[in-house]
Amino acid sequence: MPEYKTTFNYLLTHKVIPHFFFTNLEFFYENIITNPDNMQLFMQNCMNAALDITGKNPDIEPGEPVESFSMRIFGEIAAESVISVLIPNCKRECDSIIVVFPCMREHARYFTCELSSNPLDGEKFFIMGEWEQEGDDYKHINYGRVDASTTDSFPNSVIGLLFGDEDHEFYDGSSDDDEDEDAEKDPYDETIQIAGTAWAYYEHGLFEEALYLYNRVMEDIDNSAEFFHCRSLVHKAMGNLNAADYDLFRAKLIDMIDIANGEEVTGETEKELGLEQRKPLFYVEGFYDILQNKEGDLLFCIRTREGEERMAELLYSGGKNALLRRRIDQYILLDEVHPDVKETLSKIDEILVAEFDPGDVEEPKYNVESGIIKEYTVPVRHFHENVNLDSIDEIREDGYPLFLFLGTLARENYDKQITEVIPKEELPNLAGILAREEEYGLLEKYVKGGLPLNERLGWWFKNWEPTPLFYITGYKIIPAMKDTEIMLHYLTERGADPNLTSIEGDTPLGNQCLAKGTVNIMKALLDCGADPNTDTAIDEVTYKPLTLQLCPSEYDQEKHTFTPLTALEADKAALLIEAGADVNAEMRMGMTSLALVLTFSAGAERAKLVSLLINKGADIDAAVQDMQNFADEGYPEYSYALYELFAGFPNQKEPMPEVLSKWRNKETADKYLKQSAEEGYNPAKNPPA
């Protein structure tokens, strides 16, 4: 059956009826609820409006007209009465079987009896939803489980809620000692209820319905490992093995990340559902052998593993270990590749894998014909040496080797739409992989499909969550690419924004201001539209790119030592200045770019940058005032820089801008030199003659 996003019942009871009801409450209570025929007409109008919406929206399940709605009045006196309306086709989570309206205007509300279920045993039950007017809109309140065993039960529960009738309490299926149902509900309850209904559908063979609910939970509410595990079973039951493998991969990856973060992974939910404990994502293979024939062909003999291999690939970067992806949810780290085969493995495009029954684990059988279970050919993907396969932790932190299967999935299903193959939450990750792999053909298909280039990669791939463009500017990734600059231009020409931050608040341009940034990538980013004045965060401190670039490297605040700006750092700063960086912007602590250059640079770099800053309008007075403020606070490096300024730069061979000559003042220079020396600043103890 088609996978509708919304049932007709849900549309009618959660969207159309409350809208019609709250739009004109005065008219409803004066003319509609007082007359049975008008009440029937009201419901028919709601029904027709819902039918009209479904006719225009293929994502909503089509509805069928209702000739006459079944209605009844409940309550012993008119002032405390309600009208109950039965709703047909209540079959999915959040559908309603009954709606109720209080008869009196002063109690104007709208109540729904909504289907829900227990997450563990799949038991179905109903909950009460109350709708109240809130300004020009309305809000929905979940009162939890109610008795709906008869058509009288729910309306009487509403009366009990509205008018305090002690004979009509909420039914929760628990003992009197349980927590009061009126207590505040945990928002996670909704997730559990929907997931429970999904599991019940799965156990009853309603796979499309189960998939619909799991997708809803995981896209909008929660993506915990157990939900991926359960959804993988649904995909497997529907014959979508790649999707099943992917969901198990995500479940196992979440487990691995949780364990790395010191969390305990118990699998209690799976045990309650009767599922086996999840296997690990990684195996370290200690019992394997590599055989090589006269032609140089390699045969890897490994112990057999659970399940059929799918999308198998050997990943190698020339180091001590190789990584076999046997299937999406199963990786085998081949520890300590023999030195004699490293060179061959670095050159070949495929290997043969033989799986055998090891028999005695202490003495595995490599070369016994009866032990061989299966053989298959595996392509070899060669990584740049920057990709470290030395340990599982390093592979997890890198992310790249784990997510390459996304590109393989897209390639192997090129005739399909990417969204048919790649889960929605992995689309940004796919874009990052394709950009790193420089897969222009698939990237063009991705872009033409209107898929996102400006969303962040998932935390499960890169925990700093960069955009795809930001990701490929990483210092470990640039050497592995043929031409990062061409890819940057390609992405920005197709809508990628070079100014977007990672989850940590840093920008691609800001990151290039750090020690491992390069002039070429910085220039490419600026050419692609990176704004030199967009704030970037480093360790939760916000900087402008130029002031960040001019901050000294290896600065020791206690000893007041630092490494002066290098030629590379000066070149990057000059690029930012020429690109329009605000030369008078101040750091958070009140320090301009010119003040930083005068204090933390020397020689040719200082002469070059000071001249450039002044030519671009840098405020010399403001810079000097900043330096004096810090000198007065006990920072001797600023006192010494002021000495150099007032002394006419006696350490400087390269000529400084003539405009600075007006600051020469021997008395002031001696003052700051003495102040700096008294504070123990080493350069001030032995000033030039």
All structural domains of the chain with their residue ranges: 8-185, 191-273, 544-685
Choice between 278 and 268, residue whose per-residue pLDDT is larger:
278
- What integer pLDDT is reported at residue 224 of this predicted model? 86
**pLDDT tens, residue by residue, 83-130:** 999 998 888 888 999 999 999 999 998 999 999 876 556 678 888 989
Containing 301, the helix (H) or strand (E) segment is: strand 298-303
Contact indicator for 636, 560 with CB cutoff of 8 Å? yes
Distance CA 528, CA 494 (A): 11
* Low-confidence winner among 250-254, 395-399, 588-592, 616-620 (lowest mean pLDDT): 588-592
pLDDT over 70 for what percent of the chain? 92
pLDDT at 685 over 90: no
Distance CA 513, CA 20 (A): 58
3-state secondary structure of 111: strand
pLDDT band at 2 (very low <50, low <70, confident <90, very high): low
- What integer pLDDT is reported at residue 267 of this predicted model? 82
Amino acid at site 605? E
Choice between 222 and 108, residue whose per-residue pLDDT is larger:
108
CATH of domain 191-273: 1.25.40.10
Choice between 688 and 627, residue whose per-residue pLDDT is larger:
627
Mean pLDDT computed over every residue of the chain: 88
- What integer pLDDT is reported at residue 295 of this predicted model? 76
* Low-confidence winner among 76-80, 300-304, 519-523, 608-612 (lowest mean pLDDT): 76-80
- What integer pLDDT is reported at residue 202 of this predicted model? 84
pLDDT band at 268 (very low <50, low <70, confident <90, very high): confident
| Arithmetic mean of pLDDT, 351-356 | 91
* Low-confidence winner among 67-76, 470-479, 481-490 (lowest mean pLDDT): 67-76
Long-range contacts (CB closer than 8 Å, 24 or more residues apart) made by 666-670: 668/642, 669/642, 669/643, 669/645, 670/643
The domain made up of 544-685 is a member of CATH 1.10.10: no
Q: Rounded to whole angstroms, what are the CA distances from 404 to 410, 432, 614?
A: 10, 10, 49
pLDDT at 614 over 70: yes
Distance CA 566, CA 586 (A): 22
Which residues face 117 on adjacent strands? 124
pLDDT band at 174 (very low <50, low <70, confident <90, very high): very low
Tokens coding 546? 């130029």
Burial of 138 (0-12, 13-18, 19+ CB in 10 A): middle
| Arithmetic mean of pLDDT, 68-84 | 90
**pLDDT tens, residue by residue, 485-518:** 999 999 999 999 999 999 999 999 999 999 899 9
* Low-confidence winner among 98-107, 149-158, 195-204, 600-609 (lowest mean pLDDT): 195-204
- What integer pLDDT is reported at residue 182 of this predicted model? 40
pLDDT at 46 over 70: yes
Total-model pTM = 0.73
Tell me if domain 191-273 and domain 544-685 are identical in fold: yes
* DSSP 8-state class, residue 664: -
Other Cβ atoms within 10 Å of 64 Cβ, number: 9
